[in-house]
């Protein structure tokens, strides 16, 4: 039987997995909250396990926040363009849902890169595709990271602990 602390921790970890597929929700922070609830109020999670979960949770947070920007930057997209694209995607999330994030990212990068003096249509399109693909890839990576935290919690804390 699960106690209240384990249920809260498990609920936060499950919420983190769900949040990982919704743009703009801090899934890494939710997962870390679940782990720390267990560590602070539970039956004594080992310190090595807490450290492992913390590293994975922080990695998920960094990938979530900067994955798309890193991919766009790797193709030569400016920091300004990347930030504006992220803001446009966030605004369009509330208008068009998840497809709005993709359209906002792609359209903003394409249009702003097209306005740059040294960019042609083909290069602007390529940068927009790379930034959008990077955002999608970072979403997959975040999902896998927080899902691994949930699986690790289930195995090492609930089952073996």
Report the Cα 136 to chain-centroid distance in Å.
10
Place of tokens 């394409």: 110
Sequence-separated contacts (24+) of 103-106 with Cβ below 8 Å: 105/68, 105/131, 105/132, 105/135, 106/131, 106/132
Residue 74: the pLDDT is 78
Render each residue's pLDDT in the chain as its tens digit; 161 residues: 679 999 999 999 999 999 998 877 889 999 999 999 999 999 889 999 999 999 999 999 989 888 777 777 777 788 888 888 888 888 888 898 888 888 998 999 999 988 876 668 888 888 889 888 888 898 899 999 999 999 999 999 999 87
Question: Running DSSP on this structure, what letter comes out for residue 156?
Answer: I
Strand, coil or helix: 61: helix
Residue 68: the pLDDT is 74
The two three-digit tokens of residue 12, written as one number: 């936060």
The two three-digit tokens of residue 78, written as one number: 């400016």
Residue 117: the pLDDT is 65
Q: How far is CA 86 from CA 58, 101, 112, in A?
A: 20, 8, 13
Residue 73: the pLDDT is 76
Burial of 89 (0-12, 13-18, 19+ CB in 10 A): buried
Integer Cα distance of 17 and 21 in angstroms: 7
Instruction: Decide: 75 and 131 in contact? Cβ < 8 Å.
Output: yes
Q: How far is CA 83 from CA 65, 68, 69, 108, 130, in A?
A: 11, 10, 8, 10, 15
Residue 48: the pLDDT is 96
């Amino acid at each position: 039987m699960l106690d209240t602390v384990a249920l809260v921790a498990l609920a936060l970890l499950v919420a983190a997995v769900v949040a990982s597929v919704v743009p703009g929700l801090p899934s890494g922070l939710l997962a870390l909250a679940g782990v720390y609830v267990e560590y602070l109020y539970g039956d004594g999670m080992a310190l090595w396990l807490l450290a492992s979960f913390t590293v994975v949770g922080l990695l998920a947070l960094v990938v979530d926040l900067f994955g798309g920007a890193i991919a766009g930057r790797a193709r030569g997209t400016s920091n300004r363009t990347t930030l504006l694209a992220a803001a446009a995607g966030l605004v369009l999330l509330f208008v068009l849902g998840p497809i709005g994030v993709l359209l906002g990212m792609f359209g903003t990068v394409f249009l702003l890169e097209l306005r740059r003096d040294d960019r042609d249509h083909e290069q602007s399109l390529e940068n927009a595709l790379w930034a959008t693909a990077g955002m999608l890839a970072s979403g997959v990576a975040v999902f896998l990271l927080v899902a691994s935290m949930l699986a690790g919690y289930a195995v090492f804390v609930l089952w073996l602990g």
